[in-house]
């Protein structure tokens, strides 16, 4: 959590403020797309091409985000239909796998109540009807009431999680106290075993005090086993921790996506970008730390134990573990329906915001109106979404696109943005832009952070990320083995992974071509 808060201060807030300030400045000159804004504020031709990343990220993420959105809608309907009364996590896991078509390519396309196809179609149509007809104001108004309701429901779920106690008496160590300990204890205890070469390898983590004692007793008589205490200091020296913290910051705050820069371009000089940015990030942080941090992992440990949670991702926690919480609470079906339906609405507002950078870009670069732009983007995203849903086996297409765009390119765009703000625009000028119309001032020490610390921190994290996740370097042992994502592309070719990257390259190529042909961007460079 300490790494998370440091990342919040060193990259989350700085990039957020930089995006808001640069976006508004570009918008005041009439540019609403990331390529246009980068081109205008830097007056360097190369940056309009780098700005394409700010359009590519939301468009590609939309292609798989709407698929996940459909999961939420489908779960809400199935809760209402009484199909979600699971006895254990294996049942909720098999429901999820059948629902999303994880077993076989093409199996997600069915239109049954327990298949994602119908919900996907509804979600996709809803998104484009809202954005095409310009009636999204209605959903925004609705969300003003729906989102506080979602927070209230999350509080009710939190209350239920904290009172779960020990649901399985056969596994007394699977309880809420240990769940909270797994999430918040600063000192970790891991059981390590000696491998064939004599190196100690982590086998599993233990949280329960009685279990730690039992493992220590067992280790006392077994020379190939030991219980190691990992201090907070040692954890902070682990690069993987920083990678996870930074990645979480990007996603929870939506920084480095190319979305904030587009929306802030519609603001005027009297609008407050500093407090807007801080208020948005603080609301996100509250939901993530005070609600998410107390619900998901503690609930997962309570039902699955510490060993069961190892390696679990967001999907596992949200779509396999959370239904178990509802199955174990009064009026669980009603709360399950409300939670997933409101989550679906929240996701719709997010996906609509992911479409706007692409729409603004096509309008600006191709000189077309909004409806034409929506139609073109609708075609592009429909093809991409169909691709992701068809290749649903092991969520391979989604996973590949999320890795290269939803993680890799977000690091790249964030780094570019903070360098533009601190070094090309200049920190004094950037702060002056940000402070126009602001009710509060950014503390002066952020000048140093945004100019030196944030870029260096991002570059360091990005280098570590590439080393760990692309070249597969194990920071503990120093051994290197290419990651699965690289293996899929070059060493043991996987057709779906290659097609996914090909699709990303095709969309990027199209956007670069459109940027290259735009006369306004070139004119601006000549005017400098």
Partner 1 sequence: MTAAGWIIMILSVASVSTLLAWCIYKVVSTPHETEHIHGFEQETPDVEQ
Residues of span 72-101 touching partner 1 by CB under 8 A:
none
**What CA–CA distance (Å, rounded) separates 439 from 272?**
7
Q: Which of 90, 185, 222, 463 binds partner 1 (CB under 8 A)?
A: 185
Binding to partner 1 by residue 5, rule CB under 8 A?
yes
Q: How far is the CB of 361 from partner 1 (least distance, A)?
A: 11
Q: How far is the CB of 35 from partner 1 (least distance, A)?
A: 16
33-41, 55-63, 80-88, 355-363 -> range binding partner 1 (CB under 8 A): 355-363
Q: Which of 113, 283, 456, 505 binds partner 1 (CB under 8 A)?
A: 283
**What CA–CA distance (Å, rounded) separates 4 from 242?**
8
Q: Which is nearer to partner 1, 33 or 414 (CB)?
A: 33
Binding to partner 1 by residue 369, rule CB under 8 A?
yes
Q: Which is nearer to partner 1, 270 or 526 (CB)?
A: 270
Interface mask toward partner 1 for 107-146; x: CB under 8 A: -----------------------x---x-xx-xx------
Q: Which of 44, 171, 194, 371 binds partner 1 (CB under 8 A)?
A: 371
Binding to partner 1 by residue 440, rule CB under 8 A?
yes
What stretches of 29-52 show up as alpha helix (H) in DSSP? 34-42, 45-50
**What CA–CA distance (Å, rounded) separates 292 from 4?**
14
With both helix axes pointing from N to C terminus, report the angle between 116-132 and 332-366 in degrees, rounded to the nearest 10: 50
90-98, 216-224, 282-290, 502-510 -> range binding partner 1 (CB under 8 A): 282-290
Rounded to the nearest angstrom, the gap between the alpha carbon of residue 145 and the centroid of all alpha carbons in its chain is 24
Q: Which is nearer to partner 1, 143 or 507 (CB)?
A: 143
- Given a contact cutoff of 8 angstroms between Cβ atoms, the answer to whether 369 and 94 are in contact is no
Query: How buried is residue 190: exposed, middle or buried, by Cβ count under 10 Å (0-12/13-18/19+)?
Result: middle
- Say which DSSP state 66 is in: H
Q: Which of 1, 46, 159, 236 binds partner 1 (CB under 8 A)?
A: 1
Q: How far is the CB of 194 from partner 1 (least distance, A)?
A: 28
Residues of span 219-278 touching partner 1 by CB under 8 A:
259, 263-264, 266-267, 270-272, 275-276, 278
Q: Which is nearer to partner 1, 191 or 359 (CB)?
A: 359
405 contacts: CB under 8 Å, gap ≥ 6: 56, 57, 60, 61, 504
- Given a contact cutoff of 8 angstroms between Cβ atoms, the answer to whether 12 and 260 are in contact is no
Q: How far is CA 202 from CA 90, 103, 478, in A?
A: 26, 31, 15
Binding to partner 1 by residue 437, rule CB under 8 A?
yes
Q: Which is nearer to partner 1, 77 or 207 (CB)?
A: 207
220-228, 289-297, 332-340, 415-423 -> range binding partner 1 (CB under 8 A): 289-297
Q: Which of 240, 248, 349, 494 binds partner 1 (CB under 8 A)?
A: 349
Number of residues that bind partner 1 (CB under 8 A): 54
Phi, psi torsion values for 526, nearest 5 degrees: -70, -30
218-226, 237-245, 290-298, 488-496 -> range binding partner 1 (CB under 8 A): 290-298
- Give first-to-last CA distance, the chain, whole Å: 46
Q: Which of 30, 103, 106, 186 binds partner 1 (CB under 8 A)?
A: 186
328 contacts: CB under 8 Å, gap ≥ 6: 160, 164, 167
512 contacts: CB under 8 Å, gap ≥ 6: 49, 52
What stretches of 163-272 show up as alpha helix (H) in DSSP? 176-184, 209-220, 232-236, 239-253, 259-264
Q: Which of 171, 204, 226, 370 binds partner 1 (CB under 8 A)?
A: 370
- Say which DSSP state 473 is in: B
Q: Which is nearer to partner 1, 266 or 423 (CB)?
A: 266
What stretches of 420-478 show up as alpha helix (H) in DSSP? 427-435, 445-448, 454-465
Q: Which is nearer to partner 1, 118 or 162 (CB)?
A: 162
Binding to partner 1 by residue 289, rule CB under 8 A?
yes
Q: Which is nearer to partner 1, 177 or 240 (CB)?
A: 177
Rounded to the nearest angstrom, the gap between the alpha carbon of residue 338 and the centroid of all alpha carbons in its chain is 23
Q: Which is nearer to partner 1, 19 or 488 (CB)?
A: 19
99-107, 177-185, 303-311, 445-453 -> range binding partner 1 (CB under 8 A): 177-185
Binding to partner 1 by residue 282, rule CB under 8 A?
yes
The string of DSSP letters for 249-277 reads HHHHHTTTSSHHHHHHTT--TTS-HHHHH
β-partners of residue 229 are 189
Q: How far is the CB of 331 from partner 1 (least distance, A)?
A: 26
Q: How far is the CB of 22 from partner 1 (least distance, A)?
A: 15
**What CA–CA distance (Å, rounded) separates 243 from 233?**
16
Binding to partner 1 by residue 22, rule CB under 8 A?
no
- Given a contact cutoff of 8 angstroms between Cβ atoms, the answer to whether 15 and 418 are in contact is yes
Nearest CA-CA partner of 205 in 192, 214, 193: 192
Phi, psi torsion values for 203, nearest 5 degrees: -95, -50
237-245, 352-360, 410-418, 451-459 -> range binding partner 1 (CB under 8 A): 352-360
Q: How far is the CB of 424 from partner 1 (least distance, A)?
A: 25
Helix %, strand %, coil % of the chain (to 5): 75, 5, 20
| Site residues (vs partner 1, CB under 8 A) | 1-2, 5, 32, 130, 134, 136-137, 139-140, 177-178, 180-181, 183-187, 259, 263-264, 266-267, 270-272, 275-276, 278-280, 282-283, 285-286, 288-290, 293-294, 349, 352-353, 356, 359-360, 363, 369-371, 437, 439-440
């Amino acid at each position: 959590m300490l790494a998370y808060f440091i990342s919040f201060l060193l990259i989350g807030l700085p990039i957020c403020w930089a995006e808001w300030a640069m976006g508004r400045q570009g918008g005041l000159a009439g540019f609403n797309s990331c390529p246009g804004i980068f081109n205008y504020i830097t007056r360097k031709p190369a940056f309009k091409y780098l700005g394409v990343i700010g359009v590519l990220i939301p468009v590609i993420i939309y292609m798989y985000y709407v698929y996940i959105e459909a999961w939420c809608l489908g779960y809400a309907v199935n809760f209402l239909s009484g199909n979600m009364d699971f006895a254990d996590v294996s049942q909720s896991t098999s429901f999820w796998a059948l629902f999303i078509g994880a077993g076989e390519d093409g199996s997600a396309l069915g239109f049954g109540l327990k298949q994602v196809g119908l919900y996907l179609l509804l979600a996709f149509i809803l998104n484009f009807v809202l954005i095409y007809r310009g009636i999204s104001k209605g959903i925004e108004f609705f969300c003003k009431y729906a989102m506080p309701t979602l927070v209230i429901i999350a509080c009710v779920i939190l209350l239920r999680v904290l009172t779960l106690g020990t649901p399985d008496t056969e596994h007394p160590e699977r309880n809420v106290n240990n769940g909270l300990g797994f999430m918040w204890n600063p000192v970790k205890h891991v059981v390590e075993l000696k491998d064939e070469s004599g190196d100690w390898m982590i086998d599993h983590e233990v949280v329960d005090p009685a279990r730690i004692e039992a493992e220590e007793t067992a280790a006392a008589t077994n020379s190939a086993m030991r219980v190691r205490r990992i201090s907070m200091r040692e954890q902070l020296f682990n690069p993987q921790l920083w990678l996870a913290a930074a990645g979480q910051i990007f996603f929870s705050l939506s920084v480095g996506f190319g979305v904030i820069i587009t929306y802030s371009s519609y603001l005027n000089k009297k609008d407050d970008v500093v407090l807007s940015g801080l208020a948005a990030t603080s609301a996100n942080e509250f939901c993530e730390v005070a609600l998410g941090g107390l619900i998901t992992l503690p609930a997962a440990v309570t039902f699955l134990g510490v060993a069961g949670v190892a390696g679990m991702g967001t999907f596992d926690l949200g779509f396999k573990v959370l239904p178990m919480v509802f199955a174990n609470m009064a009026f669980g079906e009603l709360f399950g329906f409300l939670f997933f339906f409101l989550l679906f609405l929240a996701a719709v507002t997010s996906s609509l915001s992911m479409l706007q950078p692409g729409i603004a870009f096509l309008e600006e670069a191709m000189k077309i109106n909004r409806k034409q732009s929506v139609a073109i983007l609708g075609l592009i995203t429909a093809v991409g979404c169909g691709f992701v849903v068809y290749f649903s086996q092991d969520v391979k297409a989604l996973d590949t696109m999320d890795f290269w765009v939803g993680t890799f390119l977000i690091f790249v765009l964030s780094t570019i943005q903070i360098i533009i703000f601190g070094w090309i625009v200049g920190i004094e000028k950037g702060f002056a832009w940000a402070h126009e119309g602001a009710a509060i001032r950014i503390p002066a020490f952020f000048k140093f952070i945004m100019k030196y610390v944030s870029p260096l921190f991002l570059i360091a994290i990005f280098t570590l990320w590439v080393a760990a996740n692309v070249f597969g370097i194990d920071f503990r042992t120093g051994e290197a083995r290419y990651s699965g994502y690289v293996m899929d592309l070059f060493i043991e070719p996987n057709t779906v992974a290659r097609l996914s990257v090909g699709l990303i390259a095709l969309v990027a190529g199209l956007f670069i071509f459109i940027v290259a042909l735009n006369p306004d961007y070139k004119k601006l460079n000549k005017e400098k």
